[in-house]
Amino acid sequence: MQHHFITVEGNIGAGKTTLAHLISRKLNARLILEEFADNPFLPKFYENQKQYAFPLELFFMAERFKQMKDMLHTKDMFQSITVCDYLFTKCLLFAKVNLPEEEFRLYQKLFDIIHQQLIYPDILIYLHAPVQKLQQNIKKRNRVYEQGIHDDYLFSLQQTYTSYIKQHNIKTIFIDASNADFLGNEKHLQVVLDALENDLSDGQHYFTLP
């Protein structure tokens, strides 16, 4: 495996954590999972986005930074590969959608100061699913505070993610996850594993699932 730091990303409900778990198991890799449930502002944000967006995003950035710095700067003798279910830059992408312009400019200054201290992934796996599929997954996992998420919000996040990836020419395995079932269909997982084995150039590489 030529990639030592693999990140799985996608919209809310895309299946990031499930896929990250499966990849780490197959590759005997160290796993970093976002601890989103520890954010006390998350349920409040979905009730009142304007009031709680800024503290929500600040908390997420601080926690992601601490977790990633602690994990990535600690060597593991037995696991040379790390799989993470979030890209640190998602802090900036969500903030861009959630914050008004003045707050976003302040947030971006803080982000620019700290993100340079982190290691960025060798390759990104991006799960792209239509909003209808995302909503189905969100309802299925049944987190109470997520049940009122609007289609427009998911669509805005989708556009922000894809625009960022294309503009920055990140080496990306772009998976059409419209019918993804990584737990139930071994062939779906194998598409991702085979893609990771390929000698891919920078930029986006698109894969569909059988």
Question: Would you name the residues annotated as active-site residues?
Answer: 85
| Contact call for residues 122 and 84 (beta carbons, < 8 A) | no
Q: Which residues contact 127 (CB under 8 A, 6 or more apart)?
A: 8, 9, 10, 11, 14, 15, 16, 19, 175, 177, 180
- Residue showing tokens 């990535």: 72
Report the distance separating Cα 192 and Cα 65, nearest Å: 27
User: What are the tokens at 49?
Assistant: 């986005």
Token output for 189: 């997982």
Query: 122 exposed, middle or buried (CB, 10 Å; 0-12, 13-18, 19+)?
Result: middle
Cβ atoms 124, 87 nearer than 8 A: yes
* Rounded alpha-carbon distances, angstroms, from residue 172 to 38, 143, 148, 175, 206: 29, 29, 31, 9, 8
* Pick from 124, 28, 123: nearest CA to 80: 28
